[in-house]
Amino acid sequence: MAAIYLDYAATTPVAPEVVEQLCDCLGHEPGNPASSGHAYGRAAQARVEDARADVASVINADPREIVFTSGATEANNLAIQGAARFRAGQGRHIVVGATEHMAVLETVRALEFSGFQVSQVAAADDGRILPEAVTAALRADTILVAVMHANNETGVINDIAAIGACARRHGALMHVDAAQTVGKLALDVQGLDADLVALSAHKNHGPKGVGALWVRRRPRVRLTPLMYGGGHERGLRAGTLATHQIVGMAVALASAEQRRNADWSHAEGLGERLRERLAAVADWYENAAAAPRLPGIRSIGFAGIDGVSLATALADEVALSTGSACTTGSTEPSHVLRAMGQDAATAAQAVRLSWGRYTTPEEIDRAAMAIATVVNRMRAAEVNTTAS
């Protein structure tokens, strides 16, 4: 029997309707969207612009505010580096949440080598980045604030509207990594005091390798491009557009928006079921349990059990992770949990389970049974080793 897939926060299975549109584009759209001089190019361009409008509709944006990228990592880089370099004459200080994805933390770290200064805001004990903590970190030369909508390891949801209001009152731009929330939470960019929002396709049943950045037009946000070339995407992102991936992203997000309430309820029910099934296991806990969270992401720990060892022992039965899938090869305890105040030993116990649309109750039951069996076996082995 195949391992149960509980790593949706890393990437999700591609929806059948998305696969259908991807294949249709690959088989019937040979044109380059930038080749508007012939029918093939215009057809491809039309598919891209229809997709742009669909993505914009999901977040209540103007289609002209959508810039397609290779994913949320590139979108975060374009937003942060682009805004920082364009506004460098106004200031060189950036504020970020300490629980941000590495696509944000490594980007601001790189900017420090160019003379920018970065303040990281520690999380509250429940994992949230609090508006008052962001306000306390602002300085006269702060030009940009970056705080994610929901954390990819704990699922904790931040109050972006309140944090964005703090940034706006100060005159700083607000960037939001919404890779985990688009299509899961109601994401209305007009109701947020945000200026830049990074989106991903593959976190919500779309293809890997495509994402988008929302760039506010009024008041207009200006960015310095990361790549130069043929002036694609209104000069903000050079490179031939991948028509099939862009169309796939649009289909995935439109479908997710339509199914948002049903998917949320399904994920919530599975979370309750997992908690009930693990109740028989001694000394286990959920990280950030007191905070508002996405229903399909849980960071849990078992006292005395190393998370990496647990994940390795379960690999043939349950596919889960010990943190972000984007911190490749890292053996360090989660920086997210450390930013919440956990010591290294406690943070090292964590594993992340994430599920979604195609996860079944039966799979949750099997996964919980496998986890309980392995945890009890590891604890028994530790007792025997200590006794001998």
pLDDT of 329 strictly over 60: no
Distance CA 88, CA 141 (A): 10
pLDDT 10s digits, 236-283: 999 999 999 999 999 999 999 999 999 999 999 999 999 999 998 999
Instruction: Give the count of alpha carbons within 13 A of 168, CB side only.
Output: 13
User: Is 16-257 in the same CATH topology as 4-12+260-387?
Assistant: no
> Residue ranges per domain, the chain?
4-12+260-387, 16-257
What pLDDT does residue 214 have?
Answer: 98
Q: What is the pLDDT of residues 67-82, one digit of tens each?
A: 999 999 999 999 999 9
pLDDT tens per residue, range 90-120: 999 999 999 999 999 999 999 999 999 999 9
Asked whether the CA dihedral 354, 355, 356, 361 is positive or negative, the reply is negative
Catalytic residue among 23, 25, 166, 326: 326
Active site residue 326: yes
Confidence of residue 332 (pLDDT cuts 50, 70, 90): confident
pLDDT above 90 (res 328): no
Distances (CA, A) of 122 to 67, 193, 223, 341: 31, 21, 27, 8
Kindly report, residue by residue over 13-22, the tens digit of the pLDDT.
999 999 999 9
pLDDT, one tens digit per residue, over 360-370 is 999 999 999 99
Task: Give phi and psi for 281, each to the nearest 5.
Answer: -85, 130
Q: Distance between CA atoms of 123 and 336, rounded to whole angstroms?
A: 8
CATH tag, 4-12+260-387:
3.90.1150.10
Strand-pairing partners, residue 213, are: 67, 198
Residue 64, CB half-sphere, CA atoms under 13 Å: how many?
Answer: 5
Burial tier of 262 (Cβ tally within 10 Å: 0-12, 13-18, 19+): exposed
* Tokens 């900017």 sit on residue: 111
Domain 16-257 grouped into CATH 3.40.640.10: yes
Give, for 318, the enclosing helix (H) or strand (E): strand 318-319
pLDDT value at residue 355: 98
